[in-house]
Amino acid sequence: MAVLPELPPAPAAALITLQSQLLEARSRNELAYIIANEPQAMLRAQQIVVLVRGQQGRLKVRAVSSLAHIDRSSPAVMWFESMVEALEREFGLGADCGFKSTTFAGGYQGFGNSYPLGQLMWVPWLDRKGQVFAGILIVRSVPFTASDAALARHLAGQFSQAWRAMTAPGWSGHGIFKLSRRAKIGCAVAAVLALLCPVPMTALAPVETAPRASVIVTAGVEGVIKSVLVEPNQTVAPGQPLVRLVDTNHRNRYEIAEREVGVAAMKYKKASQLAFTDARGRHELGIAQAELELKTSERDYALDLLARTEIKAGARASRFSATRRISLANRSPLGSG
């Protein structure tokens, strides 16, 4: 009786499929996209970030899971890069290292504190001299195990070899080397077996949260922003201060107006005393009273302008807008919803 060959387990089939995809990559951009997306199920990763050292020596994000284009101004991209810089500064990047999203302070840590995936693992790519030229950040919500680290190191070796092979002499862009017909059939069978294995399917994509009912908060006065008192998407209560403007001019105006009210009050008091004995004093009393009322109105107006330098949430406000695009010089509205 013929004995059927033993089928490779699911992880082995997935490894064969991944290796075939690495070999068929035609450019480094395509290779980076494959590395950021295809090993997610094997590594139980919710996100993989590929970082490559640039001409200035800094590691820059080259690819992120589920993203076809990298926005260099994105807070997430800048946070990933700052985490790797902090890790290199504190411990070095020569070995794989697992850490939490709150491990390093400073930089864009405000974004890291609100990031839903709290566990990260750095896995370096080494060249022939043992120098780190690239690496991956594996991100997920549960801690990493020793087997996860071992598998990640094995894959990092393949990624490093595939990346370096694209600059080797004789590389044609049609695969790092040619596969035999039997190897291609084996890869096809492994790919079919991998498709039969159930794996959790998750994806991360950029999301913009829109308020159900927006509330427009305006400054009311022109000025320069001194400080923003709340974080983006932070829940705020009615009457809570949101933005504070530079109030030097308005405060000085109010103090001057307050002193002018005092002077006008003294003139009114003096005119009141003269009105009992002098007809001219009764005439000056009416003028002094009108001047006191005018100075009091000017003081109240200056106080109102001073109060408007602190912008507060309205009665229906619930969350502060995440855009932070405020232009008070043009009296543009401050979004809040």
Which pLDDT tens digits describe the chain residue by residue (337 residues)?
Answer: 444 444 444 467 788 888 888 888 888 999 999 999 999 988 899 999 999 998 888 999 999 998 888 888 888 888 889 889 989 988 899 999 998 888 887 666 667 777 788 899 999 999 888 899 999 999 998 999 999 999 999 999 999 999 988 865 544 444 444 556 777 777 777 777 766 766 555 666 666 666 666 666 676 777 788 888 888 777 888 888 888 888 888 889 999 999 999 998 888 888 777 766 666 666 777 888 888 899 999 999 989 888 888 888 776 555 555 443 333 333 333 433 3
Classify the phi-psi angles of 106: left when phi > 0, otherwise alpha if psi is within -120 to 50, otherwise beta: left
Rounded CA separation 216/203 (Å): 34
Residues contacting residue 51 through CB under 8 Å, at least 6 positions apart: 59, 60, 61, 62, 80, 81, 84, 134, 135, 136, 137
Rounded CA separation 232/235 (Å): 9
Write down the pLDDT at residue 105: 72
Please give the angle made by the CA atoms of 312, 318 and 324, to the nearest 5 degrees: 65
The tokens for 46 are 């919710």
Write down the pLDDT at residue 235: 81
If we measure between CA atoms, which residue out of 305, 212, 210 comes closest to residue 250? Answer: 305
Classify the phi-psi angles of 121: left when phi > 0, otherwise alpha if psi is within -120 to 50, otherwise beta: beta
Rounded CA separation 203/86 (Å): 27
Rounded CA separation 254/247 (Å): 10
Write down the pLDDT at residue 221: 78
If we measure between CA atoms, which residue out of 238, 245, 239 comes closest to residue 221? Answer: 245
Helix (H) or strand (E) holding 82: helix 75-90
Cα dihedral sign for 316, 320, 322, 326? Answer: positive
Largest CA distance in the chain: 137
Rounded CA separation 84/135 (Å): 10
CB-facing half-sphere around the CA of 6: CA atoms within 13 A: 4
Placement of tokens 């070899």 in the chain: 161
If we measure between CA atoms, which residue out of 135, 146, 50, 47 comes closest to residue 93? Answer: 135
Identity at 312, one-letter amino acid code: K
Write down the pLDDT at residue 35: 94
Please give the angle made by the CA atoms of 155, 156 and 157, to the nearest 5 degrees: 90
